[in-house]
Structure 1
Amino acid sequence: MAELPIRRESECIVSAVRDNSVTVVIGETGSGKTTQLSQILHDAGFTADGKCIAITQPRRVAAVSVARRVAHEMGVTLGEEVGYAIRFENRTSSRTFIKYLTDGCLLREFLVDIELSQYSVVILDEAHERTLNTDILLGLLKRLVALRKPELKLIVTSATLDGHKISKFFGGCPVVNIPGKLFPVEIMYSTEQPVSYVESAVETAIEIHAKEPPGDILVFMTGQEEIEKVIAKLEHRVQTLEEGSCMDALVLPLHASLPPEFQARVFTPAPSNCRRIIVATNVAETSLTVDGVVYVIDPGFVKQRQYNPTTGMDALCVVQISRVQATQRAGRAGRTCPGKCYRLYSSSNFEQDFPAVTVPEIQRSSLAGALLHLKSLEIPNLDVLNFEYLDAPSVASLEDALRQLYLIDAITSKGDVTSLGKRMAGLPLEPSLARALIAAEDLGCLEDALVLAAMLSCDSVFYQAPKKEKKEQSAVHQDLPTGDGFGDHIQLLQIYEKWRRVDYDFEWCKEHGLQIRAMKFARDIRKQLSLIMQGKSDFRKRKDPAYKNLRKAFAEGFANRLAHRLPNHNGYRTLAQSSHLVQVHPSACKMEIDADGLLPEWILYHELLTTTRPYIKKICVIEGRWAQPTLVKLQDLDVISLSGRLPEESRTHLDESSETKPASAVTQPANKEAVDAARERYMARKKARTNPARLSAR
C-alpha cells in the first residue's frame, strides 16, 4: 500500500498531541486521517496502561467500515483490539485499544462515565459536517479536557473545517495541516443561471458523454424524485444518440433509500466500452466514494431538513449548498486521476451568494434529545441556555426543547430532570419514543411498544418504487394489514407480526414490497431494546383487539405531538400551536371516517413536515381524554423556569446577544475557580479508584 500523506507528518502530529490538550488536524480528502491517525497514536504509546483511543464518526456506516479497514491493516480481529460501537450494536472487548463509534454513542457514554476515564485520546472526526451530537460533544469535551488535563487529549479533525474557529474555541490550540493526494480538478462555471437545473444537468451529462474521454459521470440531485426524473431523461437521450458515435452508457441511481443490491451496482466497475452516469444525492459528497468518477455535475442545491421551533414543524427545503460542500463535490472528480467539475451556476453567484459553510445542525434541529442528555449529566452549574456552544442555537429552539421535555415528564416545572427523564436519557431513542416505552411497561403492552419503537426508528419499511412501477407497488401492498382504522402505528405493528408468523422470511418482504434492510434492522433494534428494557410481556397473548393500552402509551410519549380535528373540517390543529392548520399526509394509511365524513377527533403524529403544505405523518388515532393531562400542563407552563436557573433579565440579555454577537460572546467561559474545584474532586475520585484500601475505609 502506498504511503498516505498523513504518515509523512506523523512526528509533527505526535509532538503536537503530546504538548497540547487539544489539537486541530485539517486533512484534505485522501490524506488518510480517518484510518491512520488512530494507528499513529497507538504506535506512539497513547494506548499504554490499558487506555483506549476513541474516534467518532457522524454515520453508522462509516464507523463500521473504517473499523473493519483499520483492523485489516493492523492484522487484528475486528471486535477485539480494534472495534466499533454504533446504536444497538457494540463490537468491542476488554482488549480494544482503538474504538470507532458514532458521535451519538460517545455522547451516551457520558451518562455512564462523565469523565470518559477509559480513553486517553478522543478524536472527533469529520467535524466539518457539524452534526448536532458533535457540537454538543465539543462543549462537553472542552470542560472535560480542563478537568482531566494533562491525561486526556482531544483531536478535532476535518477535511474542510475552519481550523482557526475551532482553535479559538479551545483557547488558541495548534492547527496541523495535512496535504491530500487529490489529482487536479478543473472547475467550469456556467455563464448564466439555468432556468431548470434538472434540464441543464441532463444536457451537460449528455454533452460530456458524447465528447469527453472515458470516465464515469457523477450528477448531484436533491432527492429520489429528482433522481428518477433525471434518470428517465438520460436513458431516453442516450437511446437517441447515433449508434457508434460514442461508448455505451449505464445510468444508475444512488440515494439512502436504495436497496443494498441496487447500491452494489454503483460500486461495480462498468463493462468495457461503457461509461457509468451516476445520479446521486449528497450521500456521495463524503459518506460514499465511487471509484472511477472523472466528471462531476453540480447544480448547487441540496434538500435540507430545517426545524421551526415556533411551529414545532420540520420543513424539507431545497437550499443552496455551501462553498465547503461545493469543494467536497468537486473533489469527487479527482480521486484517481485528473477530473472536471461542471458547476451549473456562475462564479460570481458562487462567491457572493453561497454561504461559506453549511448551517450547523444544532441551529436547524429539534434540541429535545440533546438537552435531556445535558441535563441528565448533572454537571454542577450547567445552564443549558448558556452552555458553551461553538455556534449557539436560537433561544426559541432551546425553549421549545425544554417545553417538549416538560410535556413528556422528562423535567419538572423547575427544570430538574425527573427519574423518568433519567431513564429516557439512557435509552438510545428520541425522548418521545423512550417515554412511550416506559408508559407501555406500566400499561402491560411493552412487547407491542418495542416492536413499534423499532419500526419507527428505521428508514421507511416500504420500498419506494420509481414512478413507472407505482401501479405494481400498489398491488403488492394491497395484501398488507391496514391498521384496523387506527392509523400507521398499528399497521406497522401488524406488518411486523405477519412477518414474525412466517419466521422472518425475506422473500415475504419482497413479495409485499417491503425493504428487507429496514425490516431486518427493525428486528435487530427490537431485540436490543428488549434486552435494555428487560421486557417479559408477549403480544401473541394480546386480549385487546383495539390496541387501547398501546395507543394510550404512545399518547403519553407523544404528548407534544397530539392534534385534534377542527369543527366541520378534515384538518388538524396541534396543541402547541393551536392556530396552525395541518393536513394528514397522503402516504398515511386509511383511518375510520364518521357519519359526517370526518376523520377521527384526536390523533397523535410522529412527524410534522412542510413540503408543498404542512403535513402530519405516521399517525395514530387516540381518545380525547388521554390528551387532558397535556392540556392542563400547557395552561401554566413557564418556559423560563424550565431552564433551571436563568432569570428573566438574563434571558433578555441572551436574546440580544445571540442576535448581534458571535457564539463565543453569548457563552459564558468556564469559571477558573469552578474548574479548579472540579479538578480536585476528579483527582480525589481517581486516587480512591487506584487505592482500594482508602476506598474501603470510606
Structure 2
Amino acid sequence: MISEIEAVFASAPKLSPVEQHKGEILRAIKDRDVVIVVAPTGTGKSTQIPVMLLEVAELVVVTQPRRIAAESLARHVAMELKTDVGNIVGFQTAFSGEFSSSTRILYCTDGIEMLRQLHGARNPGSTIFVIDEAHEWSLNLEVLVAWFKKQITDGNPVKLIILSATIEADLLSAFFSDAEVINCEGKSFPVQEIPHAGNAISAAVRLLKRNLNVLVFVPGKQEIRETIAGITKSGVKAKCLPFHADLNTEDIQWVFESFDEPKCVVATTIAQTSLTIPDIDAVVDGGLERGSEYKNGVEGLYTRPVSLAEREQRRGRAGRTKPGYYIDCSKIPLKERSIFSIPSIKRHELSGMVLQVLAAGYEPEKLAFFHPPSLQRINEARQTLMNIGFLDAEQRLTKMGRQATSIPVQPRAAKMLLEAVNQNGVVDYNAITLAAVFDSKNLWFRTEEGRALIAGNYLELGVSDAFEKIKTFDAASLLPVHKLTEYGIERSSFERLKEQRVLIVERLNRLGYSEGKQNRTLHAKFIVAGLSDLVFTRSAVSGDYTGIHGSTPRKLSRGSTITAEKVVGLPWNFETHTDLGPVVRRMLLWATAIPN
C-alpha cells in the first residue's frame, strides 16, 4: 500500500514556490508543536504543503473557512496526484463529503473540525493539522486555535501548521510560545495600479475592451447581479460569471474555464482567498465587503471597507502568471482603512460558540483565545442561553441545551425545533423548515408571479411573518429549476437551504425524533419559544415596534400582516453604502403575535 501511495506522490507536479522550503517545513514540524508558514496568494501553500507533509504524517487534516474551498482543493489535489477524490485525498463539509479509510489528506471546513476536536475525535498519532487561510479568523477558527493552545499547555501531543498570506505572524508565534515562522517568497509578476474615476462596472468594461480577463470584487450577491447586468448592458463582448459561497460545484467550475472571449468573474470575498483563478489579467476592487456583525445587542448585515491586508490579497489575484493590472474603485482613502479586518469573535453574537464550548466541558472565560472576546459578550451569550432554557440557574447545560449541540442551527432555531417535539417524539414539519431558513434573509419571491403562488390564507394571516418563509419554501420546492430563477429565487442558495433541512432531519433522527405534521395552531408557540426574550410593542402612531426595554423603532418585513400590539421578533439591521454615506434599515424579522 505504501509503495502505491509513494508512486502516486511521485507523479505529482513539483512546481509550487513552497517546494523550495520543503526541507525547512518538514524539519520544523518534526521539531516543533506549531509552525507558522506565511506565503503569498497563489504560491501553492493550500495544495502542495499538505502533500509534502505525508512524508512525516499518517493523516493530514486541512481546515478551510468555506465548503467551496474544502471541496475544490480536494478535487484539485486529487487530480494532481492522479487519484480519485475519496481515496488518498478526501473532503468533508456539513452537507457533503467524500473520504474513506484510505484517505490521508482530508480537507474540511473549520466548523466540522472544531466540532470533531471539541467532542473527542480520535486521530492517528502521527496526524498533522493544517489551518489554512488563518488570516480570516472565523469564529470556528478562533475556537480551534484556543483548543490546540489548551492541548499543548496541558502537555498533549499536537502537530499544527498555520498557513496564511497575510497574518500577524509574530503575535501568533508568541501566542504559541515562540512557534517557528517560515516565510515563503512566491514568484509573482508586477501588478500595475491604474487610476479610474468611475465605478466598478465602467472599470471592468474598460479592461474587457482590452481583451483582458477580469476579476471584480463586490460586497454581495445583489451587487454581483447588478454588476453583471451593467456589463452586459454596455455591449462589451465578454463571458460574465458569478462567484460566491452558495454556488454548487458545477457552477464553480465555470470560473476556472477558458473561453473564446474575455472572461469577467464577479465575486464576493470568496475569490480573495483559498481558490486562485489562474488566467486573471486584471482585478477591479470595489473596496467593500459585507458581513454579519453584532452591534449593541443586534445582529445585522453591514457593508464595510476592506482592510489594507484584504486589499493586498485582492490585488495579488492579478499577476499570478503574467503582468497584471489593478483598479481600486473605493472612495475611501488608504490612510482611513484598518490594517487588518476585525476578527469574527469580536463581531458576532456568541451564544452558539459558548454552547458548544460548554458542551465540550470547557469554560469559555478560561480558554486562551488569540482574539479574546470581552467578558460582557460571553455573559450576554450565557444570558441568551438561559433565556431559552439551554442553561439552568447554575449555568449548567440542560437536557434540551445538550440536545441542541447536535443540531446544525443557531440556538434560537434549535429551541424552536425542540419545542416542536410532541409526546410521541414527532417534530413538526413546518418547525423544521423554519429552523432551516432561520438565517436566510433572501428567501422571498421577487416577482408578482412568484408572490401569487403564496397568496391566500395559508396558515393564519396576522399571526407570524415567519409563516411566509414556510409558504415560500414549500412553493419553491415544487418549481422546476428554471422557474426559480424566473421568479427571483437564486437556485444555488435554495439548494443549500434544502440541504440544510435534510441535515436537520438527519440529526433529529439521531436524537430519536421523527418528522411529522402537528396542529398548525401550535406553530406560533414554537416561534415564541425561540424568541421569548425579544418582546416588542407597537406604536399606535407610526406602527413601528420598540423593544420593551426601550430601543430604536423597527419596521416589519415588507408585506407583513402583523398588527398585534405585542410581538416577539428578531431585530436585524441591514446597512448599505450610497454616494451620501451608509444607510441602515432597522428591521424586525419573524414578528409573531404573542398568543393569549
TM-score (norm 2): 0.86
Q: Which amino acid aligns with 2:316?
A: G
Distance 2:480 2:53 in 1: 46
* 1:168 aligned residue: 174
Taking a change above 3 Å as real, the CA distance of residues 219 and 25 of structure 1, as seen in their structure-2 partners, is same
Structure 1 position 511, deviation (Å):
6.2
Q: Is the 8 A contact 1:285 1:328 kept in 2?
A: yes
Listed as ranges, the matches of 1:484-499 within 5 Å are 484=459, 485=461, 486-498=463-475
Q: Which amino acid aligns with 1:295?
A: A
* 1:642 aligned residue: none
Query: Which of 378, 390, 398 is the equivalent residue of 2:361?
Result: 378
* 1:340 aligned residue: 325
Q: Deviations over 1:550-609 (max 9, x none)?
A: 32122212334443324554212235x4333211132xx4325xxxxxx12344435612
Taking a change above 3 Å as real, the CA distance of residues 232 and 605 of structure 1, as seen in their structure-2 partners, is same
2:350 is the counterpart of 1:355? no
Q: Is the 8 A contact 2:572 2:589 kept in 1?
A: no
Distance 1:3 1:28 in 2: 15
Q: Deviations over 1:464-502 (max 9, x none)?
A: 6xxxxxxxx2223312356542444323333444566x5
Of 530-539 and 404-413, the range deviating more from structure 2: 530-539
Distance 2:275 2:132 in 1: 16
2:551 is the counterpart of 1:579? yes
* 1:20 aligned residue: 32
Query: Which of 434, 441, 453 is the equivalent residue of 2:414?
Result: 434
Query: Which of 328, 339, 345 is the equivalent residue of 2:313?
Result: 328
Taking a change above 3 Å as real, the CA distance of residues 216 and 458 of structure 1, as seen in their structure-2 partners, is same
Taking a change above 3 Å as real, the CA distance of residues 289 and 506 of structure 1, as seen in their structure-2 partners, is same
Taking a change above 3 Å as real, the CA distance of residues 530 and 342 of structure 1, as seen in their structure-2 partners, is closer
Query: Which of 134, 143, 146 is the equivalent residue of 1:136?
Result: 143
2:162 is the counterpart of 1:187? no
* 1:526 aligned residue: 501
Q: Is the 8 A contact 2:39 2:185 kept in 1?
A: yes
Structure 1 position 505, deviation (Å):
5.0
* 1:294 aligned residue: 281
Q: Is the 8 A contact 2:246 2:496 kept in 1?
A: no
Structure 1 position 173, deviation (Å):
0.8
* 2:6 aligned residue: none
Q: Which amino acid aligns with 1:296?
A: V
Query: Which of 212, 222, 228 is the equivalent residue of 1:215?
Result: 212
Taking a change above 3 Å as real, the CA distance of residues 282 and 530 of structure 1, as seen in their structure-2 partners, is closer
Q: Is the 8 A contact 1:67 1:82 kept in 2?
A: yes
Taking a change above 3 Å as real, the CA distance of residues 537 and 299 of structure 1, as seen in their structure-2 partners, is closer
Helix, strand or coil at the partner of 1:101: strand
Structure 1 position 353, deviation (Å):
2.2
Q: Is the 8 A contact 2:416 2:527 kept in 1?
A: yes
Taking a change above 3 Å as real, the CA distance of residues 91 and 259 of structure 1, as seen in their structure-2 partners, is closer
Structure 1 position 207, deviation (Å):
4.3
Distance 1:84 1:251 in 2: 29
Query: Which of 249, 254, 270 is the equivalent residue of 1:283?
Result: 270
Taking a change above 3 Å as real, the CA distance of residues 511 and 231 of structure 1, as seen in their structure-2 partners, is closer
Q: Is the 8 A contact 1:445 1:550 kept in 2?
A: no
Helix, strand or coil at the partner of 2:587: strand
Q: Deviations over 1:416-467 (max 9, x none)?
A: 2222222212222211112221111147543332232223356744476xxx
**Structure whose alpha-carbon radius of gyration is higher:** 1
* 2:561 aligned residue: 591
2:538 is the counterpart of 1:565? yes
Helix, strand or coil at the partner of 2:437: helix
By percentage of residues, which structure has more helix?
1
Unaligned runs of at least 5 residues, structure 2: 1-12, 576-582
Listed as ranges, the matches of 1:15-414 within 5 Å are 15-44=27-56, 46-47=57-58, 52-113=59-120, 120-149=127-156, 151-188=157-194, 199-209=198-208, 212=210, 214-231=211-228, 233-238=230-235, 248-250=237-239, 253-256=242-245, 266-271=255-260, 274-308=261-295, 310=296, 312-344=297-329, 349-350=333-334, 352-379=335-362, 382=363, 384-414=364-394
Distance 1:298 1:499 in 2: 35
Q: Deviations over 1:590-629 (max 9, x none)?
A: 325xxxxxx123444356124344433541524245xxxx
Structure 1 position 510, deviation (Å):
5.2
Distance 2:484 2:285 in 1: 36
2:557 is the counterpart of 1:555? no
Taking a change above 3 Å as real, the CA distance of residues 603 and 518 of structure 1, as seen in their structure-2 partners, is farther
Helix, strand or coil at the partner of 1:293: coil
2:457 is the counterpart of 1:451? no
Q: Is the 8 A contact 2:247 2:492 kept in 1?
A: no
Q: Is the 8 A contact 2:41 2:317 kept in 1?
A: no
Q: Is the 8 A contact 1:605 1:616 kept in 2?
A: no
Structure 1 position 127, deviation (Å):
0.3
**RMSD of aligned alpha carbons:** 3.1
Q: Is the 8 A contact 1:551 1:620 kept in 2?
A: no
Taking a change above 3 Å as real, the CA distance of residues 228 and 569 of structure 1, as seen in their structure-2 partners, is same
Query: Which of 565, 570, 590 is the equivalent residue of 1:619?
Result: 590
Q: Which amino acid aligns with 2:51?
A: Q
Q: Which amino acid aligns with 1:615?
A: R
Structure 1 position 299, deviation (Å):
3.9
Taking a change above 3 Å as real, the CA distance of residues 229 and 365 of structure 1, as seen in their structure-2 partners, is same
Distance 1:420 1:277 in 2: 49
Distance 1:328 1:456 in 2: 32
Taking a change above 3 Å as real, the CA distance of residues 621 and 286 of structure 1, as seen in their structure-2 partners, is same
* 1:8 aligned residue: 20
Helix, strand or coil at the partner of 1:375: helix
Distance 2:538 2:292 in 1: 26
Q: Which amino acid aligns with 1:223?
A: G
Q: Is the 8 A contact 1:322 1:356 kept in 2?
A: yes
Q: Is the 8 A contact 1:563 1:604 kept in 2?
A: yes
Structure 1 position 325, deviation (Å):
0.6
Structure 1 position 141, deviation (Å):
0.7
Distance 1:259 1:110 in 2: 28
Taking a change above 3 Å as real, the CA distance of residues 34 and 459 of structure 1, as seen in their structure-2 partners, is farther
Distance 1:288 1:25 in 2: 18
Helix, strand or coil at the partner of 1:414: coil
Structure 1 position 64, deviation (Å):
1.3
Distance 1:425 1:353 in 2: 41
Q: Which amino acid aligns with 2:99?
A: T
Of 388-397 and 504-513, the range deviating more from structure 2: 504-513
Q: Which amino acid aligns with 1:456?
A: F
Q: Is the 8 A contact 2:89 2:106 kept in 1?
A: yes
Q: Which amino acid aligns with 2:55?
A: D
TM-score (norm 1): 0.74
